[in-house]
Homo-oligomer: A and B are copies of this chain.
Amino acid sequence: MPSPRPARKAAPLDTASPDTKSRIIDAAEHLFMEHGFEATSLRSLTAAASVNLAAVNYHFGSKEELFQSVLTRRLDPMNQERIGLLERLEREAGEKPVSCEKLISAMLIPALRLARDEKRGGKNFLRLLGRAYADPAPFIRHFLSENYAEMIGRFKDAFLLALPHLTRQELTWRLHFVMGALSYTVSGTDALKLLQQAMPNDRENDELLIQRLAPFLVAGLKAPAVGDTKKLELVSGD
């Protein structure tokens, strides 16, 4: 059997966008979400956008830079929304620290809104983003680092006030775990479909998902700092 390369023929459904650049980026988002970055060829992409093959290199420089443009169009507003929510919470709290629950909500809600907005790619865009997290390509790593640095830093400062029993280093790790559970959950292909068998694909499910995720993450963040307990030795006695 041949290899499964689905991005061969392209449906020429133009969104009637005026300029070439917009048509390219819209078609790219759609195809990257459906087939992934590597499996989407520029030839199928440009055919879907009804533009010439060379137009991508002219307007974006390379396939990689086109990918960055696709990501940043959604990602930057989402992280700005997160920072905006955080600043509002800090104003409302005055001198007191913002609660852990509210901080987690401020991180999750913009992702939830994006996931529910089909005009902005919906949850398929978050899947694409989640995959990008684990990509080995250096250009994707650096791009995401720069795009997330400000947002993560702001929230880390706020969590540090809400969780005074944690050192900055402990919190760094826990926020790492939080981002992991979030990006993995949200990028959930059916790889572990066994884990979500009971969940149909209704409209409301993204909200239910985050309502389940938030208590899990809050409890993990509030857990006592790791001391000299040796939980891992309990089972490794051989």
Q: Assess whether B85 is in contact with A235, with CB atoms less than 8 Å apart.
A: yes
Contacts of A194 in B (CB 8 A): 145, 148-149, 152-153
Segment at the B interface, from A41-49, A71-79, A157-165, A176-184: A176-184
The contact of A216 among B138, B177, B191, B211, by CB within 8 Å, is B177
CA distance A58 to B134 in the complex (A): 31
Q: Assess whether A152 is in contact with B3, with CB atoms less than 8 Å apart.
A: no
Contacts of A112 in B (CB 8 A): 232
Q: Assess whether B136 is in contact with A192, with CB atoms less than 8 Å apart.
A: no
- Specify the main secondary structure of chain A where it touches its partner: helix
Question: A189 interface residue, CB < 8 Å from B?
Answer: yes
Q: Assess whether B217 is in contact with A139, with CB atoms less than 8 Å apart.
A: no
Question: A220 interface residue, CB < 8 Å from B?
Answer: yes
CA distance A84 to B131 in the complex (A): 32
CA distance A69 to B168 in the complex (A): 41
A136 to chain B: closest residue by CB: B36
A106, A144, A152, A184: which has the most chain B beta carbons within 10 Å?
A184
Q: In the complex where A134-B133, A144-B192, A192-B152 touch, is A224 in contact with B214 (Cβ < 8 A)?
A: no
Number of identical protomers? 2
Within 8 A of B (CB), among A7-52: 35-36, 38-39
Rounded to whole Å, the gap between the CB of A64 and the closest CB of chain B is 6
Within 8 A of B (CB), among A219-234: 219-224, 226, 229, 231-232, 234
Encode contact with B along A82-93: 1 for CB under 8 Å, 0 otherwise.
000100110000
Question: A190 interface residue, CB < 8 Å from B?
Answer: yes
Within 8 A of B (CB), among A86-135: 88-89, 101-102, 104-106, 108-109, 112, 127, 130-131, 133-135
Which 10 A/B pairs are nearest by Cβ-Cβ distance? A180-B184, A219-B223, A36-B136, A220-B220, A216-B220, A176-B195, A141-B191, A181-B181, A180-B181, A131-B134
A-B contact pairs, 27 of them (CB 8 A): A4-B139, A89-B235, A104-B231, A105-B232, A105-B236, A109-B235, A109-B236, A112-B232, A130-B134, A134-B134, A134-B187, A134-B189, A144-B192, A145-B191, A152-B195, A168-B198, A174-B212, A175-B195, A176-B185, A176-B192, A177-B213, A177-B216, A179-B195, A207-B232, A211-B231, A218-B231, A219-B222
